[in-house]
Amino acid sequence: MIPPKPKARAEKVSFRQYLKLFRQDILSAQPAKLYRAWMAEYRTPFFRSFLVNQPSLVKRVLNDEPMEFPKSDRIAEGLRPLLGESVFLTNGDTWLRQRRIIDPAFEGGRLKDTFPAMLAAGEAMVAELADQEGPFDIEPFASKGAADVIFRTLFSIPITHETAARVFSEFQAYQRAQPILNIAAFIPLPKWVPRVHRRRTREGARAIRQLITVLTAKRQAEIAAGTAPDDLATKIMTTADPVTGETFATGEMVDQVAIFFLAGHETSATALGWALWLLAANPEVRDRVAVEAAQLPDVPEFSDLAKLRFTKDVFRETLRLYPPVPMMVREAACPVRFRERDVPQGSQIVLSPWHLGRHERFWDNPDAFDPDRFQTENGKTCLREAYIPFSSGPRVCTGAGFAMVEGPLFLALLIRAYEVEIVPDRVPTPVAHLTVRSKDGIWLRLRRRQSA
């Protein structure tokens, strides 16, 4: 079964037409040739853009010379109201300092420490779905479950906590404002020119940041009193930069919590929703996941994740077909040459997990859902050369390991409890603004497993 994929645009459109298409959906605004091209150039009246698929060039940008290709300020413009100077947007020495403080909180040993919180959030989602009868949209439940993980692991509070629930509610409204679409992403503006953001975007970002400030200030007081729980927030807020000896100030921590919530909640929810639909559409795969899930004890431990090898491949295949962040944009800090072509300073370098994951020159049967592909030589090669759902190199997503625990765990818990089925007249349509979501939700039916 070939899962849904956006229809590519006509090969040639004007800049104005492209902007219109981009506002509707980032993916369908792109031409079909990107699924087979090594590189493509796109010129606008204001900047030049190069989409890069050639593995050696992707490696050069992300792994070999990351400081020569910093994050593009054009994309940052739309996210700045919420994320401020978070690690997701910064470059240079500021970014290096932030990563030195943040990275220790997500090292391997900490994953085991956060597992009980993830398990509690997953079990809460299973329980909440028990009352669902008939067709329903799984996306709101996936969003709530992923947000629950963030709050439990970061601040040791469930999504039902008053402040957590308010942050989640405000964030849902913020998403609907499509904050990535800002005029400065397309038209270069001097630093002194005020950025124009939608009123809903500004108000939503302000409300979210105020609530996060309350949580952060409370945690600072608990740290000072010696009563703080040993969670991710405490770890990050008490870690000093080994170079400067500084810790995050309140405002800096608010910036980081905002990106943890955005990246950790939005992307995980997106991937979980698509994974459940793919399992529902492929009953033979779903049943293999159910067999693995049945091997888990009633209360799994971190070591039990080793039993979920196929389930992990299902989640990995979901990230290939529906990478939560479909495109990443870097900027050439100095003139370079790619494929015998001049790339001027200031050019936008687009790296597309979406197109790499479906590239016709790399993957066998690229549009098919096939979790077993990762056991083949082609799949193993492509994992190394054409698979970057979490980016790569020094700027790889801090929570990549976190996500690869949460995703398979949630799938196993849900499939152990329920048989998921598609709703035939509600096939999801992928669209991308900030992440790859379904245009009208992801609709499923659930039946309680007799053995559950």
- Segment 223-242, tens digit of pLDDT: 999 999 999 999 999 999 99
Does residue 4 belong to any structural domain of this protein?
A: no
Answer yes or no: is 172 within a domain: yes
Cα distance between residue 132 and residue 125, in whole Å? 12
The pLDDT tens digits for 365-396 are 999 999 999 999 999 999 999 999 999 999 99
For residue 188, the model assigns a pLDDT of: 55
Does 9 map to a domain?
Answer: no
Whether residue 2 lies inside any domain: the answer is no
CATH number for 418? 1.10.630.10
pLDDT tens digits for 293-313?
999 999 999 999 999 999 999
The whole-number pLDDT of residue 195 equals 47
Show the domain range for 377. Answer: 15-448
| pLDDT the model gives residue 334 | 96
Domain count, the chain: 1
Residue 73 lies in a domain: yes
Contacts of 104 (CB under 8 A, 6+ apart): 235, 239
pTM reported for the whole predicted model? 0.92
Q: Which stretches of the chain score pLDDT less than 70? A: 108, 176-200, 451-452
Residue 36 belongs to a domain = yes
pLDDT of residue 183: 45
Helix axes 400-417, 139-155, angle to 10 degrees: 130
Please indicate, yes or no, if residue 396 is contained in any of the structural domains. Answer: yes
Residue at 6 is within a domain: no
Residue 119 neighbours by CB under 8 Å, 6+ apart: 299, 300, 409, 413
